[in-house]
Amino acid sequence: MIPAALHLSDAEISAMLSAFLWPLFRILGFFLAEPVFSSRSIPRQAKIIMGIALTVMIAPLLPPMPVVPVISGTGLLIIVHQLLIGLAMGYVMRLMLTAVEMAGFFASSQMGLGFAMFFDPQHSGQVPTLSRLLSLLTLLLLLAMNGHHLMLSTLINSFKVFPISTEGLPAISFRLLAEWGHEVFALGLLLSMPVMAALLIANVAMGVMTRAAPQFNVFTFGFPLTITIGFVVLYFSMPYFIEAVKMLYEHGTSLILTLLKAQPG
């Protein structure tokens, strides 16, 4: 027997499209800014496939979508809102990785390695070698601690905390996002504090030695000494760096929830 033709009304087609299209744009926006999934080593086709697969899996669990035609001005506005929400969430996690890179920049400057630059394909520019080393270490630790699962669960929970609607993020959320930019410098300085404190003590000690023995050539011994002390302190601080990375990304996920729950006033 020939099965009867499937007849769908425009409202039913619009409901099916909205159930998958609007969540997809929030997920793709998150993938565009988040440090793990936005890596240029992952092809764009793979990112799109991952976004579609994740959308198909979570679509039956999402709250009801607004009754708005997808092909309309309001429907396109919802798409833009979802893309901006995903970008904002991914940007918060990007700030956490940038704080580690900033810590590497501070430490390399104090160690005398500020001139040692390395091409970073992620930023398409030259970055300090130590910053690149710490950022790669952070990403590896994040994957080892299933941090990518934590990010995906935060992304999925965002649909319950801030359901898809005709309203986007309030202006206060974007203000908070801009204000959190200063945390890059604060967290970077905090993470680099062991190296900077040790090098400060070393520089003070070399200054005292230079005053006590003027024949002591500080330029001959100072540069290799600061590099050696810096790497030794980095080596002994690595066990604490693991816990710092964990706390850093937990802090990032809490900031995402604060961003989504922000209310005017």
Helix locations, 112-217, DSSP H: 129-144, 147-161, 171-179, 182-191, 193-212
Q: What is the pLDDT of residues 209-227, one digit of tens each?
A: 777 777 767 667 777 888 8
Chain centroid, CA 195 distance in Å: 24
Q: Which is more confidently placed, 248 or 5?
A: 248
Question: Smallest Cα–Cα separation from 152: which of 247, 260, 54?
Answer: 54
pLDDT in tens, 76-118: 888 888 898 888 888 888 888 888 888 888 888 888 777 777 7
Distance CA 21, CA 108 (A): 45
Q: Is the pLDDT of residue 248 over 60?
A: yes
- pLDDT level of residue 191 (50, 70, 90 thresholds): confident
Q: What is the pTM of this model?
A: 0.81
Nearest alpha-carbon partner for 224 in 110, 114, 112: 112
Q: Which residue has the higher pLDDT, 154 or 17?
A: 154
**pLDDT tens digits, residue range 150-168?**
888 888 888 888 888 888 7
Binning the chain into helix, strand and coil, the percentages to the nearest 5 are: 75, 5, 25
- Rounded to an integer, the average pLDDT of 140-151 is 82
Q: What is the dihedral sign for C-alpha 68, 64, 48, 121?
A: positive
